[in-house]
A = this chain, B = another copy of it.
Amino acid sequence: MITVLAGGVGAARFLTGLTAVVDPADITAIVNTGDDVELHGLWISPDVDTVTYTLAGAINPETGWGLAGETWQALDALGRYERARPSGSRAGATWFGLGDRDLATHLYRTARLAEGARLSAVVAEIAAAWGVGVRLVPMSDDRVQTMVTVDEDGASTEIGFQDYFVGRHHDVPVISLRFAGADDAHPADGVLAAIRDAEVVVICPSNPLVSIAPIRAVPGIEAALRAARERVVAVSPIIAGAALKGPADRMLAELGHDVSVVGVARLYAPIASTLVVDDADADRAGAVEAEGVACVVVPTVMTGRVEAAALARAVVGAR
């Protein structure tokens, strides 16, 4: 039994590697839903979908999100309304990429939630419809929203995560983060048991601040991870001081963290006993271990399934 904490693209790629070395039926992925967004009346779960589509072999390999061979008729047609909408309205927004086939996922999820189904049940149904063998569980059935306070031309504004990530192309300074609703949220069924019962808990190479932190913010999960610390192995998303993808490096710096594997080690030291870092950071292994975290040095760049599987093998064997 292996349990992983997952964000989006990096986690999805790691999971494809993990399924090559561990029976998918023995894998549980606890997925961040802090970046879920409601748009056009639809409930959209970007990280869950990225993990699902990737494990189904249906992901767009160029973008890392969305479906391969996607069409964009609906979004294109939405442009007509966006151009005509009243000032102040956000309806008809085309800044968030919704492919035609991807829309079906959001239509189904929204309809099931409207029927009263729990998000975790819907996540499982969608994964099953795609033939995904890994057990996917959202961190919570409750709404937790990652809110980002950004500096725009000197004024601080709090916006939703997707407004920051997609709408602003994560290209504005971040002042602070907040996980709205987290205090009242409960872990989804099976989350705490999956952490408690796993031989290894893997923190995927995801953004520690906006992919893993929302999961940790759901009451009960942080404590479960601390109790499991000796079995928790994290993979650094920072390689040689930079993120392969996304704003993790910039965000770490803006929020006062060390933009290095040492900074990652500090963030994860309370919950992880081992940090896997890339060969490029071999000279930092001592500094990582000085944070009280064992350091394993291996290639961590997942250029393909072979590399992802090798990384997964190293991570599972790291303790």
Contact = CB atoms under 8 A, between A and B. Distances in A.
Interface of A: 39-43, 71, 73-78, 80-81, 83-86, 89-93, 99-105, 107-108, 110-115, 117, 125-126, 128-130
Given A100-B74, A104-B74, A104-B75, A115 B89 contact: yes
Contact of A107 (B78, B129, B130): B78
A101 B73 CA distance: 6
A42 B74 CA distance: 14
Scoring A81, A110, A117, A126 by chain B CB atoms within 10 A of each residue's CB, the highest score goes to: A81
B91 A111 contact: yes
Contacts of A113: 41
Copies of this chain in the oligomer: 2
15 contacts: A40-B108, A41-B43, A41-B110, A41-B111, A42-B42, A42-B107, A71-B100, A73-B100, A73-B101, A74-B74, A80-B104, A81-B104, A89-B112, A90-B115, A91-B114
Nearest to A92: B108
Given A41-B42, A73-B101, A100-B74, A108 B81 contact: yes
Q: Closest 9 interchain pairs by CB?
A: A91-B111, A77-B104, A41-B110, A73-B100, A40-B107, A84-B129, A77-B101, A81-B108, A78-B104
A103 B130 CA distance: 23
Contacts of A42: 40-42, 107
Contacts of A128: 84
Given A73-B71, A108-B91, A81 B43 contact: no
Contact of A129 (B41, B74, B81, B104): B81
Nearest to A122: B91
B83 A129 contact: yes
A44 to B, nearest CB: 11
Contacts of A41: 41-43, 107, 110-111, 113-114
A80 B115 contact: no
Contacts of A86: 117, 125
Given A71-B73, A73-B71, A73-B100, A80 B111 contact: no
A125 B129 CA distance: 37
Nearest to A70: B73
Contacts of A75: 104
Contacts of A85: 108, 112, 125
A51 to B, nearest CB: 17
Contacts of A103: 74, 77, 100, 103
A130 B84 CA distance: 9
A43 B114 CA distance: 13
Contacts of A73: 71, 73, 99-101
Given A41-B41, A85-B108, 7 more contacts: A40-B110, A74-B107, A76-B101, A89-B111, A89-B112, A91-B108, A93-B111
